Structure 1
Amino acid sequence: MSSRDEQGPSDAADAAPEQLALIRETVRKAKVPRAKPRTWRGADLAKELPVARVLVDKGVLHLDRYFDYAVPEELAADAQPGVRVRVRFGAGRHSVHGGRREGGGLISGFVIERLPESDYAGPLAALAQVVSPERVLSPELLALARAVADRYAGSLADVLQLAVPPRNGRAESKASPEPLPPPRAPEPGSWGRYARGAAFLKALADGEAPRAVWNALPGRQWADELARAVAATLSSGRGALVVVPDGRIAARVDAALTEVLGEGRHALLTADAGPEKRYREWLAVRRGSVRAVVGTRAAMFAPVLDLGLVAIWDDGDGSHSEPHAPQPHARDVLLLRAAHEKCAFLLGSWSCTVEAAQLVESGWALPLAGDREQVRAAAPLVRTVGDGDLARDEAARAARLPTLAWTAVREGLRHGPVLVQVPRRGYVPRLACERCREPARCRHCAGPLEARDAGPLHCGWCGRDETEWHCGACGGFRLRAQVVGARRTAEELGRAFPAVPVRTSGRDQILDTVPDAPSLVVCTPGAEPVADGGYAAALLLDGWAMLGRPDLRAGEEALRRWIGAGALVRPQGEGGTVVVVAEPTLRPVQALVRWDPTGHAVRELSERAELGFPPVSRMAAVSGRPTALTEFLAAAELPGDAEVLGPVPLPVTELGRPRRPGGPPPGELWERALVRVPPGSGAALAAALKSAQAARLAKSGRSEAETVRIRVDPPDIG
């Protein structure tokens, strides 16, 4: 075995005789049978290309390189590039990497390529086993995985663990169906509601690679429109990939694809399918039997042959962000695929993220949206209830629901179901001006101001104290905390409307659909079921609970949640009404009233550019124990234009409670620093952080290195 980049003192011949004697004595006393390393003579090796370059499945940064192994003649036919193999890391001897000894146990890996010779002069260990002759790692998937690893300061092995599902022997043994001929190009259908919709479909059918940000009109037609885009791509003889946030949405797109394409033309890749079925579907895609895929987050790596279109629905949903290292976002992975494979790109949503607006503003993608007449015809009527209304409303003071909300519920129940969206518990309150409700922000970095345990004001991002705060909008000097959470909304509504069924949809049980009959459906954001025929009305309660999050995306996320619920309500012409309980003068509320998420995202992007925050800049969050974090930042050779914000303490998880995703272990005090760089320096920042973490790992070992965690482009910097 050798490293492609460097070959350290890994051969047992380089060890001192005393060390070898100690190793033999330890093994003998343990009475563990040890396979003798096989000596491969020239006659035993493959006659052609006797060297295999292998990526070992060790997701640690200082081993993020390829290793050379000898290919025995008996394995030569199966040990082709892309297959899974087992190798003895250290060949039963001991290899030293960064001062730490690695045992010689078998470890999984992938054959990257076959070579006539190795650039390492010493003897090579041999491949121990070809797990399966199935070539699961294509050159395109390997290139994509390497690009993702470099972007997110991670290891190639970690990315491939996300990209290639675990092997299932029974699934491999079953033959995949024969590929079907390309379908006919579909009719535009409801794409005709958009100014460039029909032209976009025609470009896909003609084999072109258009790139678009699609602001979908309210209603249920979006799934059919997405299916027609896939069908147009397939008609050109190419493949298509669609990534959606969750299994419920995947099921809707799956049904639309079946209706448009027929059976057997697409694969559904979700965790709900189970390991065998999921791997069988994945193999059908890899073998080229199926050319279209719809799936959840992991499907972003699906190995679609001759990829012609990548599409993502609702890119602002947090489910698109992978929680496992190196934590890539599906949107960015699909952007990389569109660039590497020169295919079409479609980002669709009822709302609009700042990243989507940036794609349009930069000219990289064109907008796909309906004109104002189409928006007014499809959207419900939106009415607001602000602080002044609540103060004058006796019903609101008594039961938290204003009179306008009660009226909308009573009227809506005469015609169908009514949706009630209540923010889930756990949103952290932030401080705002008592007079005008403008969020209190740091003068240095525009981060949210906090006051823990009635202490002095300080910034939640850069940690600076703020002793002379005043509101930049109205000049006020008094602060207020926002109201958080819901107060038994379902019980209150049940008592108020005893003859109406009340259904709940949330973390414990998420409903997929509800019948077109009078009922109250109380749900948390993101758990809204679809009503047959649409909801007659919707209440969006406790708007300040979502707007009060101490995060850069608070307004964007609140608007996305509101529009996602409002899009399920019948159009205004059919009596559909949405009541939002939030201050009507706030920008997200105004955007909801006008049903203009794109305009809101454009203004947010402009402010981010002035403040130097993502996506205009690139940012990384580095967290760890205070001493370890300080040492790491001092050792990292950051780009010259990098700026470090913080560090600031992270909330301590109580002992006995589960660790938050990406958070510190329970009971430990951790800090976090934000490192940001201007456009063009993102790759240099990721490389610097990766090099520093690799050096720390090689020096101190994995357990110590894990006391510092890196996340490039964190979705939440609050």
Structure 2
Amino acid sequence: MTADEAPGADMLPGLRAAVDDARAKAAATRLRKAASWEPAAVDPVARVLVDIALAHLDRPFDYAVPTAMADTAVPGARVKVRFAGQEVQGFVVERTSQTDHTGTLQPLRRVVSAEPVLAPEIAELSATLATRYAGARSDVLRLAVPPRHATAEKASSAPAPPPPAVTSGSWTEVEHAAAFLRRLAAGETPRAVWTAAPADDWPRMVAEAAATSYGAGRGVLVCVPDGRDVERVGAALTAVLGEGHHVCLTAEGGPAKRYRDFLAVVRGSRRVVVGTRSAAFAPVHDLGLVVVWDDGDDLHAEPRAPYPHTREVLLARAEQQSTAVLVGGFARTPEAQQLLASGWAHELAVPRDVLRARVRAVVVPAEDRQVGTRIPRAAYDAIRRGLELGPVLVQTPRAGYAASLACDTCRTPARCSVCTGPLAVPGPAVPPQCRWCGHVERAWACSTCGGRGLRAPVRGEARTAEELGRTFAGTTVRSSSGERVLERVGPAAAIVVATVGAEPVADEGYAAVVVLDTWLTLARDDLRAAEEALRRWLNAAALVRRGGHVVAVGDPAHPALQALVRWDPAGFARREVEERSQAHLPPAARMATVTGDLGALDDVLHLLDLPEGAEVLGPVPLDSRPPRDGHREEEHRVLLRVPRTHGAELSIALGDLQRVRSARKLDPVRIQVDPLTI
């Protein structure tokens, strides 16, 4: 049989043609791909910050920009790149025509989004903060840029209407405020520390300062401690500016809304921003004023590495971008006082005669008790008189019913018979329960004296409300704490018992404010115990109406309570700065903590090149960690202290240490520069 007679011989020319066509198409595809991976004609090199928190790799890396990505791989865009054998995300920080890399550059894998979400000033700020806090830029950028939401990215951002003309009527009684606002209106960069007075409508005052800067064509960034404060300032901005001029950056609205509001800021359609600590990184266009309210609140301290503080982030932005600064609060931190003492900022406050007319404050000893209650007679009288005029606020430091128990006979703390944990009573007519293991003690007996009676030396807000309800029969008593936080109360007579930070705002102000258990607030074993106690009391007392009465129950000789009576947070802050300066404590000194296993801390002390005048305190053991491989390990901490003038050198030394440890893959340690609590 010949070849022509073989089965399917007539199909061979068609198959050959199909194969040739397929080969031609494949070759064309390869040519197109090769052409698409050719470097871009203009600025073919992209410097990318990769999302890898390794200190020794914390720098931009150069990648080739393919022609297909030339228009989308813009500075600030999210990209995917090949790094150390895996695909990781990063941000383009710069496009350039040259590179220092001697080999062939890896190309960008793809552009995740062409939206320039990382502004140049925020990229620069990330480097400043990474150096300041001995951290990684990638960790800072996780705080600065929210996760992408593709649907929100597709929506357009409506432009804001022109700013209205605003009259700053709320600042009339504040000394030097007129000059501060006049400079804001002129587009200048004044810097001030503002001590608000009782009965001040501080959200309105912040909104008017923001409107003044906004009216001069500059952007504004306001950072407050929590979502309740964001709502209050947001409402004040709406009242002053109208709708469509500002955005509120919080996590409460969900990822889509947060990213949509963030994009409105990125695109420049909104230039007034109010939010919590993450809003400090908002890329506001033409930023002219940064405001931080209540900078002593621990919510301003970021709990994630590298642990920056909102106040320090905003001050760094003010220096970098030449903006005006307003640090405000009813209390004053030693750090804010240091800004005044150095001449970096000027003071804004009302005169003493205005303060005396606004509030009357007294401290009464806890021993002077009204029979059958834990309320001293003077506090009882203040509540009774206040109820004749409106609502009365009672602040207590603990939530719950009876947060701790002790033997009624010998005062020995009551402990669980199973795990020796502390006992507490969660509510009335409920037996004591262990706060550690949950065991119910139905037949408790004191291990010291055998007594079976229990007393509650520390009483929570629920127990306080119960006692006040019995004392002031027929009066409405409301609680605000934990998950049951009241936002506002009306002008009707009522007693509002609230924990710290959960005090609702009264529509017309409180007729009286009573602060209980001040000894408990002062009992914290912390450097800032007195400072934090005064801040909490002032924030509650400031809710009083003009001419109202404030009563604090505690030791009248304590400096923090004396500062409350005189309403003198400035004097208290000056005293704190002087005492800490003598003891070489912040803000007169710069400090850092290094926490880890003893072996890791030994490596730290061996590798760390400390600046001149540095002190090493410790190591000291911290709380035990769970057993690992049958052995219980303890974390230890080393405290490093240097004079304030050598603070930058300490940060640089700690950054170098992190890079060495990362490169050698040594056991991890946790480094915190200028920790809030010591």
TM category (shorter chain) comes to 0.7 to 0.9
Are 2:377 and 1:383 equivalent residues in the alignment? no
The 5-angstrom pairing of residues 82-97 of structure 1 reads 82-90=76-84
- From 471, 479, 500, the counterpart of 1:496: 471
Asked if 2 retains the 8 angstrom alpha-carbon contact of 1:636 and 1:689, the reply is yes
Per-residue CA shift, 1:604-633, capped at 9, x if unaligned?
111111111101111111111222223222
Show the 5 A alignment for 1:295-444.
Answer: 295-378=275-358, 380-386=359-365, 390=367, 393=369, 395=371, 398-424=372-398
Cα separation, 1, equivalents of 2:36 and 2:249: 45
Indicate conservation of the 8 Å contact 1:408/1:579, yes or no.
Answer: yes
Work out the CA distance in 2 between the residues paired with 1:393 and 1:341: 56
Offset at residue 238 of structure 1 (A)? 0.9
CA distance in 2, matches of 1:581, 1:355: 28
CA–CA distance in structure 2, aligned partners of residues 192 and 166 of structure 1: 43
Aligned length: 593
Give CA deviations for 1:25-44 in whole Å, capped at 9, x if unaligned.
xxxxxxxxxxx9x9968972
Aligned to 1:565, which of 540, 555, 561? 540
- Structure 1: how far apart are the matches of 2:37 and 2:297? 58
Aligned residue for 1:375, secondary structure, equals helix
Q: Which residue of 2 aligns with 1:223?
A: 203
Asked if the contact 1:180–1:289 (Cα under 8 Å) also holds between the matched residues in 2, the reply is: no
**How much has 1:291 moved relative to structure 2?**
1.2
- Structure 2 residue aligned with 1:506, among 481, 485, 506? 481
Give 1:542's aligned residue.
Answer: 517
1:553 shift after superposition:
1.0
In the TM superposition, what is the alpha-carbon distance from 1:536 to its structure 2 partner?
Answer: 1.6
Shift of 1:138: 1.4
**1:577 lines up with 2:549 in the alignment:** yes
Shift of 1:60: 2.1
1:355 Cα offset (Å)? 0.8
The separation in 2 between residues aligned to 1:319 and 1:129, in whole angstroms, is: 38
Give the match for residue 139 of structure 2: 158
In the TM superposition, what whole-angstrom CA distance separates every residue of 1:102-153 from its partner, at most 9, and x where no partner exists?
Answer: xx22111001112223211112211111011111111111111111111011
Distance 1:485 1:327, change over 3 A: farther
| Cα RMSD, aligned residues only | 2.4
Give distance in 2, aligned partners of 1:711 and 1:485: 35
Which position in structure 2 is the counterpart of 1:130? 111
Higher Cα Rg: structure 1 or 2? 2
Counterpart contact for 2:203–2:233, Cα < 8 Å: yes
The aligned counterpart of 1:75 is 69
Aligned partner letter, 1:421: Q
| Structure-1 residue corresponding to 2:122 | 141
Task: Judge conservation of contact 2:248–2:273 (CA < 8 Å) in 1.
Answer: yes
Q: String of CA shifts for 1:347-372, please: whole Å, max 9, x gaps.
A: 11111111111111110000000101
What SS does the aligned partner of 1:537 have? Answer: strand
Q: Return the alpha-carbon distance in structure 1 between the equivalents of residues 495 and 625 of structure 2.
A: 36
TM-score norm. by structure 2 comes to 0.84
| Structure 1 segment 431-510 matched on structure 2, within 5 A | 486=460, 488-510=463-485
Distance in 1 between residues matched to 2:167 and 2:98, nearest whole Å: 55
- Equivalence for 2:640: 675
Q: CA, structure 1 residues 591+699, in 2 after alignment: closer, same or farther (shift >3 Å)? A: same
Specify whether residues 678 and 544 from structure 1 end up closer, same or farther in structure 2 by C-alpha distance, changes over 3 A only. same
Question: What is the 5 A alignment of 1:165-204?
Answer: 165-184=146-165, 186-204=166-184
Q: 1:653 offset after TM fit, Å?
A: 6.5
Residues 638-677 of structure 1: per-residue CA shift (max 9 Å, x gap):
112211122222234689xxxxxxxxxx975212221111
Call closer, same or farther: CA 1:370–1:670 in 2, change over 3 Å: same
The CA distance in 1 between the partners of 2:561 and 2:596, in whole Å, is: 37
Helix, strand or coil for the counterpart of 1:283?
helix
CA shift for structure 1 position 81: 1.1
Moved more, 638-647 or 240-249: 638-647
1:699 aligns with 2:674: no
1:312-365 deviation digits (Å, cap 9, x = unpaired): 111011111111111100000110011111110001111111111111111000
TM-score by length of 1: 0.79
- Alpha-carbon distance change, 373 to 592 in structure 1, aligned in 2, over 3 angstroms: same
Partner Cα distance (2:565, 2:635) in 1: 42
How far apart, CA to CA, are the structure 1 residues paired with 2:520 and 2:599? 35
Q: Where does the alignment leave 5 or more consecutive residues of structure 2 unmatched?
A: 1-29, 405-456
Q: What does residue 623 of structure 1 align with?
A: 595
Check conservation: 2:130, 2:136, Cα contact below 8 A.
Answer: yes
Q: Does 1:64 align with 2:38?
A: no
Q: Secondary structure at the match of 2:619?
A: strand
Is 1:243 aligned to 2:223, yes or no? yes
Partner of residue 527 from structure 1, selected from 478, 502, 510? 502
1:107 is aligned to 88
User: Which amino acid counterpart does residue 599 of structure 2 have in structure 1?
Assistant: T
Report the counterpart of residue 586 of structure 2 in structure 1.
614
Q: Distance in 2 between matches of 1:222 and 1:376?
A: 19
Distance 2:617 2:458 in 1: 28
Overall identity of the aligned pairs, in %: 52
Is the 8 Å Cα contact of residues 370 and 380 (structure 2) preserved in structure 1? Answer: no
Are the aligned partners of 1:314 and 1:350 in contact in 2 as well (CA < 8 Å)?
Answer: yes
Is the alpha carbon distance of 1:234 and 1:394 closer, same or farther for their aligned partners in structure 2, counting shifts above 3 Å?
A: closer
Offset of residue 174 of structure 1: 1.0
Q: Name the CA distance, whole Å, in 2 between partners of 1:687 and 1:75.
A: 37
Asked if the contact 1:314–1:348 (Cα under 8 Å) also holds between the matched residues in 2, the reply is yes
- How many angstroms does 1:401 deviate by? 2.0
Where do 5+ consecutive residues of structure 1 fail to align?
A: 1-35, 91-103, 430-482, 656-665
CA distance in 2, matches of 1:201, 1:540: 35
Cα deviations by residue, 1:678-698 (Å, 9 ceiling, x for unpaired): 122111111211222222222
Q: Does the alignment pair 1:586 with 2:561?
A: no
User: 2 CA distance for matches of 1:684 and 1:161?
Assistant: 26
Q: 2-side partners of 1:156 and 1:581: how far apart? A: 47
The CA distance in 1 between the partners of 2:232 and 2:61, in whole Å, is 45
- 1:415–1:359: structure 2 CA closer, same or farther, 3 Å change rule? same
